[in-house]
């Protein structure tokens, strides 16, 4: 393992976060863990990220957030990976470990627990054969306890959007009252850090079918997206006013700017629900369809099919642009679903029964 940035010794609890980011798996795992890291730091703790792979810019972002970053050399999810992570926790005198991703199966969790560590698993699709973690987190909708019936008696569940992990930038940028114009004129397209399905280009192609208007478009390209050239070419051929934003550091400001957002299911979706633009939600995988369908029924988003065409995207955006009432209802429902306190709730659960200072615990009560 190679230490990228050392952490000065502190009289505070340490948290080890094991996650990865790449073009294949995206950057959402690391970004939502960063939100959790910020909440832990706000409670007086220190954080170390253990990464096997991630874009350089993302590692730098973590360092800038006062996190220690360590690179692990073992294959993700392997026995050696687990052992290196355990050794890191012992070196940092950390009792609590966070795993994020489907790479960390039942055997990996069991190995962590046998090492005497407290374990939080951030999960998405409930695909593990068994769960040995002390806590299992899943913010998706709909989510049911029985999805995690294969778990140990001690395993506690943190389920649903009340636990959605939002970073400090969103909590600090949340407008008390969003102004909803009669006609929407600002569109944000954001498909996550890597966009392996190339949904960004499809969405932009759909804008060609809109009549030339005053619509302003901002397209966010993540740090792990290898298709910048394709997006740039689409901008040149588009009739709308389009601006490309690469490796954005102020996503909260971009969401506050937008009247409408086209977004894939992922970490960004919960951030958008909190920030309040009308959302055209696009399921990336078949397992995401139920989440999108539920949000649509709740009136919080407008749904697309996984294989939606450019024309379908056009129709969704055009319908929202002139329907201020629907956009207002989406904003209100989104804020009801995601209240921004998820990271504090998780940290409070992790600190319960531990040696966290009472003052920090009081600050985290919701």
Burial (CB count <10 Å: 0-12, 13-18, 19+), residue 236: exposed
**Predicted confidence (pLDDT) at residue 50 exceeds the cutoff of 70:** yes
Mean of the pLDDT values across residues 63-92?
97
**Do both 313 and 354 map to the same domain?**
no
- With bands split at pLDDT 50, 70 and 90, how would you rate the model's confidence at 354? low
264 — phi, psi (to 5°)?
-80, 155
Give 177 or 59, the one with higher predicted confidence: 59
User: pLDDT tens digit string along 132-148?
Assistant: 999 999 999 888 899 99
Q: What percent of the chain has pLDDT over 90?
A: 68
Mean of the pLDDT values across residues 159-188?
92
**Predicted confidence (pLDDT) at residue 357 exceeds the cutoff of 50:** no
Mean of the pLDDT values across residues 354-365?
36
**Do both 158 and 187 map to the same domain?**
no
**Do both 158 and 278 map to the same domain?**
no
Lowest-confidence segment of 24-33, 44-53, 147-156 by average pLDDT: 24-33
Q: Give DSSP secondary structure letters for 116-183.
A: T-EEEEE-SS---S-B--SEEEE--SS--GGGG-SB-TT-EEEESGGG----HHHHHH--SS----SS
Lowest-confidence segment of 3-17, 67-81, 82-96, 184-198 by average pLDDT: 3-17
Residues 6+ apart with CB under 8 A from 169: 250, 251, 252
Cβ(222)–Cβ(194) below 8 Å: yes
**Predicted confidence (pLDDT) at residue 339 exceeds the cutoff of 50:** yes
CATH of the domain at 40: 3.40.50.11190
What are the residues facing 51 on neighbouring strands? Answer: 71
**Do both 326 and 355 map to the same domain?**
no
**Predicted confidence (pLDDT) at residue 261 exceeds the cutoff of 80:** yes
Q: What is the pLDDT of residue 361?
A: 32
Residues 6+ apart with CB under 8 A from 313: 202, 203, 206, 207, 262, 280, 304
**Do both 240 and 301 map to the same domain?**
yes
Query: What letters, b where the CB count within 10 A reaches 16 and e where it falls short, cover 87-120?
Result: ebbeebebbbbbbbbebbeebbbbbbbebebbbb
Q: What is the pLDDT of residue 12?
A: 63
Residue identified by tokens 């399921």 is: 283
Q: By residue range, what is the domain housing residue 355?
A: 2-166+340-364
- With bands split at pLDDT 50, 70 and 90, how would you rate the model's confidence at 327? very high
Mean of the pLDDT values across residues 316-333?
95
CA-CA distance, 105 to 292, in Å (whole number)? 26
- With bands split at pLDDT 50, 70 and 90, how would you rate the model's confidence at 64? very high
Give 339 or 230, the one with higher predicted confidence: 339
**Predicted confidence (pLDDT) at residue 355 exceeds the cutoff of 80:** no
Total domain count, the chain: 2
Show the DSSP H helices in the chain as ranges. 28-42, 56-64, 79-91, 106-114, 168-173, 199-207, 228-237, 251-257, 267-275, 289-297, 310-321, 324-337, 342-351, 358-364
User: pLDDT tens digit string along 186-231?
Assistant: 999 998 877 878 888 888 888 877 876 678 999 998 776 777 778 7
pTM: 0.89
Residue identified by tokens 């600090």 is: 172
Give 354 or 135, the one with higher predicted confidence: 135
Q: What is the pLDDT of residue 356?
A: 40
Cβ(86)–Cβ(112) below 8 Å: yes
**Do both 330 and 206 map to the same domain?**
yes
**Do both 162 and 209 map to the same domain?**
no
**Do both 223 and 158 map to the same domain?**
no
**Do both 219 and 327 map to the same domain?**
yes
**Do both 132 and 19 map to the same domain?**
yes
CA angle 267, 337, 272 (to 5 degrees): 40
**Do both 328 and 260 map to the same domain?**
yes
165: left (phi over 0), alpha (psi -120 to 50) or beta: beta
Q: What is the pLDDT of residue 62?
A: 97
Q: What is the pLDDT of residue 169?
A: 95
Cβ(25)–Cβ(194) below 8 Å: yes
**Do both 27 and 67 map to the same domain?**
yes
CA angle 349, 358, 116 (to 5 degrees): 50
């Amino acid at each position: 393992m190679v230490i990228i940035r050392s952490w000065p010794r502190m009289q505070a609890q340490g948290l080890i976060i094991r996650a990865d980011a790449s073009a294949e798996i995206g950057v959402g795992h690391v970004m939502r863990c960063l939100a959790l890291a910020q909440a832990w730091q706000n409670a007086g703790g220190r954080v170390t990220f253990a990464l096997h792979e991630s874009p350089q810019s993302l590692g730098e972002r973590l360092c800038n957030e006062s996190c220690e970053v360590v690179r692990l050399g073992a294959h993700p999810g392997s026995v050696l990976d687990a052992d290196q992570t355990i050794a890191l926790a012992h070196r940092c005198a950390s009792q609590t470990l966070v795993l994020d991703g489907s790479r960390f199966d039942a055997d990996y969790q069991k190995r962590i627990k046998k090492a005497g560590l407290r374990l939080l698993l951030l999960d998405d699709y409930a695909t593990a054969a068994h769960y040995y973690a002390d806590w299992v987190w899943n913010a998706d909708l709909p989510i049911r306890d029985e999805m995690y019936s294969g778990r140990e008696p001690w395993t506690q569940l943190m389920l649903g959007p009340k636990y959605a992990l939002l970073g400090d930038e969103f909590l600090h940028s949340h407008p008390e009252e969003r102004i909803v114009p009669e006609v929407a004129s600002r569109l944000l397209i954001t498909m996550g850090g890597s966009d392996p399905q190339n949904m960004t280009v499809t969405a932009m192609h759909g804008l060609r079918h809109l009549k030339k208007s005053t619509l302003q478009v901002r397209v966010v390209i993540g740090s792990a997206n290898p298709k910048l050239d394709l997006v740039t070419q689409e901008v040149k051929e588009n009739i709308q006013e389009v601006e490309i934003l690469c490796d954005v550091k102020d996503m909260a400001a971009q969401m506050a700017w937008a009247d409408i957002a086209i977004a894939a299911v992922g970490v960004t979706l919960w951030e958008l629900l909190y920030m309040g633009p009308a959302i055209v939600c696009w399921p990336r995988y078949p397992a995401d369809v139920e989440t999108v369908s539920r949000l649509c029924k709740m009136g919080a988003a407008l749904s697309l099919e996984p294989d939606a065409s450019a024309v379908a995207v056009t129709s969704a955006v055009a319908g929202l642009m002139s329907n201020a009432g629907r956009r207002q209802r989406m904003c209100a429902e989104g804020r009801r679903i995601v209240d921004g306190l998820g990271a504090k709730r998780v940290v409070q659960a992790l600190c319960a029964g531990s040696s966290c200072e009472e003052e920090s615990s009081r600050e985290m009560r919701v």
